Amino acid sequence: MFGSMVKSTGGHSAAISPVLRLSSFAIILANSTSLFAQNADNASGNLSQSTIVGLIVLVLAILTYGVLVFGDRLLQVSIKEIALEKGKPAEEIQKKYSLVPPLIPHREKELRKVISIKKGFDVYIKGRAEKKIRELKSASYAVKPIDFPGISPIPKLLVKEGDHVKAGDQLFFDRHRPDIKYVAPVSGEVAQIIRGEKRKVEEVVILADNKLEYRDFGKADPKSLSRKAIVEKLIESGTWPFLVQRPYGIVPNPADEPKMIYISAFNTAPLAPDYDFIMQGQDALFQKGIDVLNQLCAGKVHIGLNAKKTHASVFTGVEGATFHWFEGPHPTGNSGIQIHHIDPIKKDEVVWTIKPLDVLTIGRLFEEGRYNAERVVALAGCEVKEPQYYRTIQGASIENMVKENLLNDHVRYISGDVYTGKKIEANGHIGFSDDLVTVILEGDQYEIFGWLLPSYPRPSVSPTFLSYFFQGEELEVNTNMHGEERPFVVTGLYEQLLPIDTYPLHLFKAILTEDFERMEGLGIYELLEEDVALCEFACPSKSPLQKIMRQGLDMVREG
Amino acid sequence: MKKLLRQFFDNMEPKARKNKYLYTTFQAFHTFLFVPNHVTRNGSHIRDGMDIKRLMVHVVIAMQLALLFGMYNIGHWHYAAYGEYTGLAEGIIPKFLFGFFQLLPVIIVAHAVGLGIEFFFAANRGGEVEEGFLVTGMLIPLIMPPDLPLWMTALATAFAVILAKEAFGGTGQNILNVALASRVFVFFAYPTFISGDTCWITWDTNILHRLFGLGAKVAEYGPESSAVVQGFSGATPLGLAASGLQTGEKTLQGLDAITHQFSWWEMFFGFIPGSVGETSAFLIILGAVLLLVTRIASWRIMLSMFAGAVFVGLVFNFMGLNPFLQIPWYYQLVMGSFFFAMAFMATDPVTAAHTNQGKIVYGFMIGVMGMIIRVLNPAYPEGWMLAILLMNVFAPTFDHIFIQKNIKKRLARG
């Protein structure tokens, strides 16, 4: 025991103890003040008195310190003994019950490279989903062509109202790209084909059977299949549209060779679901999905992880993928931002991205041999009474989720997050790849002098609002525009919110003036609407930036 | 109250829609009182609470301290010119009221003319009146001589709004700073009214002054009379630096001339003649701090402009070729309208450079050019107006350089 004490203090004697430093400083101070306060006559007498006092203080300090260190070592040793008996790890408990903090703080050597992103902004909204999962029974499920950017507004339908389909049966295809199939998530009767203006197809609604029938695509081990066979299976089963191509954000061309396939394992949008919670225990299925992706793009599957979080083994235990660690505010969780910091997309390169829950569905396809579209989605928002997670199937109606679960009637339902989600009705359906339903207040009230004296707290990136100085506080939000659309006035704002090495304002102006060279040169290939959504939120001129971005992307794709 | 107002506007709206000019006016007042009930239609479902109106109002707020002090200052120099209330602390209230009533017509005229023109153009365009003029309307009175004839102010405002703003498309699309365009108009069209030693003092009283019994005993002396207080010079420090001071036999030059009349602290706090808003460096700096804290003005422009001016000031001090160049750089900063130009003119986001690096070059060049024009050019007493307008024209070029760099970097990658 004494031996161990010597060992421990041996290391400490290298640095001068702060207690020692303080007491020696106190002595010098005592001496100097006594010196100043002296009369010359009594100099020597008072000097020795204060020195003695100082010495006594010093000795007492050293003794106290010594006792503390001794006691600390005894404590540590006994903790270790008890821990060994009980079979628990000793270090954590030792750290917790230490009397004397370590002199030189023990720094965890950073084993991994963390990319720290400074630009961006986090908005905190009330009504985060609680970590419990409930089963959701929905009568109807829908597939919406609008969920697939680039698809022609009137896809060619293979079913009509009244037809019966199985889960995995094809519903429609884009006549410009007839090889890509879009399938039904459940079996049942095609109840309704909702059309919008100019006969565009808005939704294909299916009334689900009580017991679901699945089309059989055959179980397989992805590692044993060729790339061609994998592509066939994905397309046939209707899971190919899970992949999103950058640039342009469209369904990728199977013949392309992507530079990489990227998965961001965390979502930083407000109220976004926690993938680690949703996917816990599904390690094998996720790994299978990763194996599939690896066959598509050998050895180039990348996963972006949140350095500020301890990820579940479902992500960290993956084999065959390269990990990247990020930390920072939204939009750090966006694939586009992460890709930019790893290996920016150049002209004529393509990157495919996919969301974690979609990888799970692909894994399930190969494991079970069928298109099992079940997933856990989060219901969140400031107007939800009990925000939580629901186990349901893609395209489910939110009717049963929100029935008697709202604090207010006049709300907006959003499939997706508040920045990039799509507005749906109270009996609307969740989008194809969405894993979040947000419900916020509809803000269609006038506010007197609202621009000068806001009558309720609202999220803002501007320090002219008090809420800026209370960041982290959850707010109630509504859909009010808080102003009118104006030309671009403020400059330098988008640069603070978009962590991409470019000039965002000039990119938008290049799109508006149809300047192709400038668009390309300023990085339109690297961006999608979701990356500039935060800029759109913050823009004081209320410019429709996501719409402009989509215009630009379509222009470059077609032009 | 709110309900009554809402009822009023709801009732008025269908009637207002009949005529586009009426509707634009209706919308302008409506959106001034109420933030509209519009909700997000596409894109992000939530929007920031900040909007352009709020942005502009904060700039106006930042100017208020300088404005209020300017009112007092007008009064002080009016009375002091006639030998009354010569001490700074004497007669604060009559001085302030004098300045208030002197400025009020100017503010009203500038706003009425400017907003009227803006309403007209906005209605023709079919859009809404934009709030950019809230700032310009407040800046114009602050940069004019206090007793500029009102018709001249109106003409200058009209010129600036039509030619420097609406001709380019309105708020957000102008190349030149609108307030400076109005001053430039007065400077070149009516130069005697805006240069010289006597233009910065208010000699006359107007109707409002006489109504409230304010103003020095002008009747006894008559305006601009030489029987005015002996030894009184209405010259600003800049005027003194440029042309020296006659004291009896001697002619003082440069720093001596300035320090004969004013101390550095007086110049810093603003107890000097000058245009209404520019004299008090201290209060302008407070306003600038507000703009910086609220991240409305760019610190890059302010800092680089400061650096540019100090740099040239130091170079001039080093060269020391004539008394004007010998004036220490810290005197140069508090003379004239340097801080006002830095805080409110150069930082106008629309006309400044848009890229962050461009802003640094832009601000620095303004600092350099402004000092050079002021000190080396005998024709222009103050250089900031021209320097800023010149750099407004160059700002897109600075941006272009940095954007091209970024583009080349990206293309070189791929």
Residue A159 has pLDDT above 70, yes or no: yes
Residue A14 has pLDDT above 70, yes or no: no
Across the A/B interface, how many CB contacts are shorter than 8 Å? 213
More confident residue, B367 or B228: B367
Cα angle B387-B393-B399, degrees, rounded to a multiple of 5: 110
What are the distances in angstroms from CA A495 to CA A118, A505, A507, A542, B255? 11, 8, 11, 16, 45
Q: Name the residue of chain A whose CA is nearest to B400's CA.
A: A506
Across residues B120-131, what is the average pLDDT?
A: 83
B185 to chain A, minimum CA–CA distance in Å?
25
Q: Which of B55, B172, B293 sits opposite A488 (nearest CB)?
A: B172
- For residue A507, the SS3 value is helix
Q: A448 and B55 in contact by Cβ < 8 A?
A: no
Residue A483 has pLDDT above 50, yes or no: yes
In contact, A247 and A373? CB cutoff 8 Å: no
Cα separation of B143 and B179, whole Å? 8
Across residues A455-481, what is the average pLDDT?
A: 87
Q: What is the pLDDT of residues A356-410, one digit of tens each?
A: 999 999 999 999 999 999 999 999 999 999 999 999 999 999 999 998 899 988 9
In contact, A338 and A264? CB cutoff 8 Å: yes
Q: B51 and A484 in contact by Cβ < 8 A?
A: yes
pLDDT of residue A13: 42
B103: which 2 tokens?
């400025």
Q: How many CB atoms lie within 10 A of CB A82?
A: 12
Q: B35 and A542 in contact by Cβ < 8 A?
A: no
Tokens 């209060």: give the residue: B283
Quick one: B87 exposed, middle or buried, by C-beta within 10 A (0-12, 13-18, 19+)? exposed
pLDDT above 70 covers a percentage of chain B that reads: 96
Domain residue extents for chain A: 2-96, 220-370, 481-559
Quick one: B348 exposed, middle or buried, by C-beta within 10 A (0-12, 13-18, 19+)? buried
Q: B294 and A348 in contact by Cβ < 8 A?
A: no
CB-side exposure of A250: number of CA atoms within 13 Å? 21
Residue B24 has pLDDT above 90, yes or no: no
Residue A82 has pLDDT above 90, yes or no: no
Cα separation of A85 and A65, whole Å? 30
B79: which 2 tokens?
């009375």
pLDDT above 70 covers a percentage of chain A that reads: 87
Quick one: A193 exposed, middle or buried, by C-beta within 10 A (0-12, 13-18, 19+)? middle
What are the distances in angstroms from CA A117 to CA A325, A335, A500, B64? 11, 13, 10, 39
B264 to chain A, minimum CA–CA distance in Å?
34
In contact, A452 and B57? CB cutoff 8 Å: yes
Q: Which helix (H) or strand (E) holds B72?
A: helix B52-81
Best A446, A467, A471, A537 member to test B by mutation, with max B CBs in 10 Å, is A446
Best A467, A478, A503 member to test B by mutation, with max B CBs in 10 Å, is A503
Give me chain B's average pLDDT, please: 89
Q: Name the residue of chain B whose CA is nearest to A420's CA.
A: B44
Cα separation of A495 and A489, whole Å? 14
β A447-448/A436-441 pair status: unpaired
A264: which 2 tokens?
């961001």
Chain A contact set for B3 (CB, 8 A): none
A419 to chain B, minimum CA–CA distance in Å?
4
Q: A451 and B51 in contact by Cβ < 8 A?
A: yes
pLDDT of residue A40: 46
Chain A contact set for B350 (CB, 8 A): 489
As a CATH number, domain A220-370 is 3.40.50
DSSP structural state of residue A122: -
Q: Is the dihedral of CA B184, B186, B191, B196 positive or negative?
A: negative
Chain A contact set for B356 (CB, 8 A): 492, 495
DSSP structural state of residue A298: T
Q: A522 and B403 in contact by Cβ < 8 A?
A: yes
Q: What is the pLDDT of residues B305-359, one digit of tens each?
A: 999 999 999 999 999 888 889 999 999 999 989 999 999 999 999 999 999 999 9
pLDDT of residue A109: 56
Mutual orientation of helices B132-143 and B178-189 as an angle, nearest 10°? 30
Residues 6+ positions from A72 with CB-CB distance below 8 Å: A98, A99, A100
Q: A489 and B2 in contact by Cβ < 8 A?
A: no
Q: B55 and A540 in contact by Cβ < 8 A?
A: yes
Q: Which of B35, B44, B413 sits opposite A418 (nearest CB)?
A: B44
- For residue A328, the SS3 value is coil
Q: A443 and B39 in contact by Cβ < 8 A?
A: yes
B175 to chain A, minimum CA–CA distance in Å?
12
pLDDT of residue B19: 81
Cα separation of B140 and A11, whole Å? 71
Q: What is the pLDDT of residues B35-85, one digit of tens each?
A: 888 899 989 999 999 999 899 999 999 999 999 999 999 999 988 888 788
Length of chain A: 559
Q: Which helix (H) or strand (E) holds B250?
A: strand B250-252
B303 to chain A, minimum CA–CA distance in Å?
16
Confidence of residue A28 (pLDDT cuts 50, 70, 90): low
Q: A459 and B406 in contact by Cβ < 8 A?
A: no
Q: B57 and A451 in contact by Cβ < 8 A?
A: yes
Question: Which alpha helices (DSSP H) does A166-273 contain, by range?
Answer: 227-236
Q: B411 and A479 in contact by Cβ < 8 A?
A: no
In contact, B305 and B366? CB cutoff 8 Å: yes
Q: What is the pLDDT of residues B251-291, one digit of tens each?
A: 888 888 888 889 999 999 999 998 888 999 999 999 999 99
CB-side exposure of B83: number of CA atoms within 13 Å? 11
ipTM value for the complex = 0.91
Q: A450 and B34 in contact by Cβ < 8 A?
A: yes
Bridge partner list, A447: B35
In contact, B145 and B98? CB cutoff 8 Å: no
The pTM assigned to this predicted structure is: 0.85
